[in-house]
């Protein structure tokens, strides 16, 4: 990328935006739905909108940060640093300890908070929400000249910014706020965003090959349609179909091995399906089935609370926050994708249905509900397996890596029981910080001394990928072996019992000690035969085992840039003759 700026002009294409009305929306249906929300849910939407109007933006779906009023679009409220808006984008480093995480600067410029202005208006009919939307859009354009500043570093950010502004503008326009200034500002925003994507798309397509690629292709589709460029529009849909085929696995899993990024791209697909009526083009039927499979995979690995295991990289992205459900609740996107492609909803009526009104064409009464049972499931292409009963499930991770891994989570287990995540994944926290939460010791698996399952260089590169062999799954039991290039093998066998689970671990490799780790957000009490998991004085599970048990504080991150203390249980044993075996009997209550 360093050589690219010198020939930047060669990649630039002159664009002429001719229309913006790609997103049609039935505002009356959404307004009626919002009006019928419980009073506390409406108050929360209004409070979030009011704070955003003051520059206090809900970032990464959790943490409110103060960017000032008017908003300083180049400011990091955590570090207090500001990026020079007059610097060309390529002169601004991706990582800068003094400035802090660049994602913090990008967050308000995604315009995700604009959805709260639209929804706040539909609830209250207070024109101040339209005015602040209009003023912030104008302010952004005034303070972000094309190709200058941190907000023009990333094509994906440009795509999301353009998409969100178009959608929210369409809401206000449908409500009668039809200002020529807003229209002109939207034209200008789309032009700059589209130019950014066109000029640097080769990087997302040829180098990154993840959610960025899909975001930017969707940006190309919207930009081409708004420019009335039929040739580019057709090319973009062809690209989209090809990338979907490459990035989604045959069992529905996603290339980044992250449930949050899987949701991210499924929300993008909601938009693609929505605008097909305008573009007169769509993804292939085979790809629709693949997208539907992806939603059903999440459904089968979902807890009754709507949450899923905190697997893989988690950057806090919820690009379309259009329901009263929490960030950790995956029901809105699963339900919407299934209804748009499968024509039926998966859940009983609830607040999650609002997302379907934003991206669907029908009234909810015209969309039936299908009862879909969650069952023990194997997703071998994704390396995910679940054992399940009526009270919860246990998910096992074992991948034979064909694409770049990001976490050392081979043979990690995630245990959910009666809506509680008894053994959990530690999450991500921040891409600009040390990667401790992604390492072997932060997962519920085994570790020899301080060896990692794989090796890491820098913030994103993992090399010496581990492999998997001898995987067997029959719905009541699982067994499989992880082979590390760092000189050891781990075989884990798990059997569902009448009272819980039986786990048998076999380690072979050189070292002094093997630790078998478990992470829990609940209280831990050691016993003569193992340990107990306790919540508010009530025993949730007992684990019987042999070996030296140590309980110490650890951390998990359910939301980007936010972490909480949890307990880490390490059961350790000496390695004798290059072998170590351990057994765990888990009894659930």
Report the mean per-residue pLDDT for the chain: 96
User: Contacts by 340-348 with C-beta closer than 8 Å and gap 24+?
Assistant: 340/270, 340/273, 341/273, 341/288, 341/289, 341/291, 341/292, 341/295, 342/292, 342/370, 343/367, 343/368, 344/368, 344/369, 344/370, 345/369, 345/370, 346/299, 346/370, 346/372
Res 580 pLDDT > 60 = yes
* In contact, 394 and 268? CB cutoff 8 Å: no
- Domains of the chain, first to last: 377-588 (2.70.98.70)
Distant-in-sequence, close-in-space partners of 509: CB < 8 Å, separation ≥ 6: 448, 484, 487, 488, 489, 575, 578
Residue ranges of the alpha helices (H) in 125-229?
128-143, 155-174, 180-203, 211-226
Q: Is the pLDDT score of 559 beyond 70?
A: yes
Distances (CA, A) of 430 to 315, 434, 562: 7, 8, 9
pLDDT at 14: 87
Mean pLDDT within 98-127: 98
Kindly state the average pLDDT of the residues 406-434.
92
CA–CA gap between residue 405 and residue 382 (Å, rounded): 11
At 3 the pLDDT is 47
1 — pLDDT class (breaks 50, 70, 90): very low
**Partner residues linked to 550 by β-bridges:** 570
Higher pLDDT pick, 402 / 301: 301
Report the share of the chain in percent with pLDDT over 90. 92
Question: pLDDT at residue 304 above 60?
Answer: yes
Does the pLDDT at position 396 exceed 60?
A: yes
What is the average per-residue pLDDT within 549-563?
96
Tokens of 269: 């697909």
Residue with tokens 């926050």: 321
For residue 257, the model assigns a pLDDT of: 95
Is residue 5 over pLDDT 60? no
pLDDT at 104: 97
246 pLDDT exceeds 70? yes
Q: Read off the pLDDT band of 248 (50, 70, 90).
A: very high
User: pTM of this prediction?
Assistant: 0.96
Residues facing residue 515 across a β-bridge: 447, 572
| pLDDT classification of 433: cutoffs 50, 70, 90 | low
Q: Lowest mean pLDDT of 4-18, 122-136, 199-213, 268-282, name the range.
A: 4-18
């Amino acid at each position: 990328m360093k050589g690219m700026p010198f020939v930047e002009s060669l990649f630039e294409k002159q664009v002429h935006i001719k229309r913006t009305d790609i997103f049609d929306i039935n505002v009356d249906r959404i307004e009626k739905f919002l009006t019928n929300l419980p009073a506390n849910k409406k108050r929360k939407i209004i409070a979030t909108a009011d704070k955003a109007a003051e520059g206090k933006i809900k970032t990464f779906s959790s943490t409110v940060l103060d960017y000032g009023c008017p908003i300083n679009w180049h400011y990091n409220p955590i570090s207090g640093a500001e990026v020079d808006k007059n610097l060309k984008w390529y002169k601004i480093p991706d990582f800068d300890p003094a400035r802090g995480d660049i994602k913090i600067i990008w967050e308000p410029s995604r315009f995700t908070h604009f959805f709260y202005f639209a929804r706040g208006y539909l609830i209250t009919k207070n024109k101040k929400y339209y005015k602040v939307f209009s003023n912030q859009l104008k302010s952004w354009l005034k303070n972000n000249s094309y190709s200058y500043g941190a907000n023009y570093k990333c094509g994906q950010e440009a795509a999301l910014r353009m998409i969100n502004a178009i959608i929210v503008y369409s809401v206000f326009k449908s409500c009668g706020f039809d200002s020529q200034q807003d229209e002109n500002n939207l034209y200008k925003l789309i032009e700059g965003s589209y130019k950014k994507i066109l000029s640097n798309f080769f990087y997302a397509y040829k180098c990154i090959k993840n959610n960025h690629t899909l975001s930017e292709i969707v940006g190309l589709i919207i930009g081409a349609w708004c420019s009335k460029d039929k040739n580019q529009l057709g090319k973009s849909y062809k690209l989209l179909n090809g990338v979907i085929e490459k990035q989604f696995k045959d069992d529905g899993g996603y290339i980044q091995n992250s449930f949050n990024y899987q949701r991210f791209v499924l929300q993008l697909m909601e938009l693609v399906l929505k605008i097909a009526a305008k573009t007169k083009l769509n993804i292939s039927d085979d790809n629709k089935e693949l997208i539907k499979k992806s939603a059903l995979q999440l459904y089968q690995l979902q807890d009754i609370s709507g949450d899923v295991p905190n697997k893989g990289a988690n950057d806090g992205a919820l690009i379309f926050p259009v329901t009263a459900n929490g960030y950790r609740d995956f029901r809105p996107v699963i339900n919407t994708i299934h209804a748009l492609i499968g024509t039926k909803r998966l859940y009983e009526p609830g607040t999650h249905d609002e997302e379907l009104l934003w991206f669907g064409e029908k009234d909810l009464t015209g969309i039936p509900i299908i009862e879909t049972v969650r069952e023990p499931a194997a997703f071998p292409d994704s390396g995910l397996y679940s054992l399940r009963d009526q009270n919860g499930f246990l998910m096992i991770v074992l991948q034979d890596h064909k694409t770049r891994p990001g976490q050392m989570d081979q043979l990690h287990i995630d245990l959910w029981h009666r809506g509680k995540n008894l053994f959990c994944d530690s999450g991500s926290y921040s891409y600009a910080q040390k990667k401790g939460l992604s390492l072997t010791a932060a997962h519920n698996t085994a570790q020899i001394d301080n060896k990692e399952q794989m090796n890491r260089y820098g913030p994103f590169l993992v090399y010496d990928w581990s492999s998997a062999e001898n995987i067997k799954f029959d719905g009541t039991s699982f067994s499989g072996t992880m082979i590390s290039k760092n000189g050891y093998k781990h075989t884990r066998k798990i059997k569902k019992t009448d009272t819980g689970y039986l786990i048998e671990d076999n380690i072979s490799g050189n070292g002094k000690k093997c630790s078998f780790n478990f992470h829990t957000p609940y209280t831990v009490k050691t016993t003569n035969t193992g340990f107990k998991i306790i919540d508010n004085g009530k025993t949730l599970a007992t684990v019987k085992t042999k070996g030296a048990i140590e309980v110490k504080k650890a951390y998990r991150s359910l939301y980007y840039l936010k972490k909480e203390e949890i307990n880490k249980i390490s059961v350790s044993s000496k390695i004798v003759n290059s072998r170590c075996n351990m057994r765990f009997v888990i009894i659930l209550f």
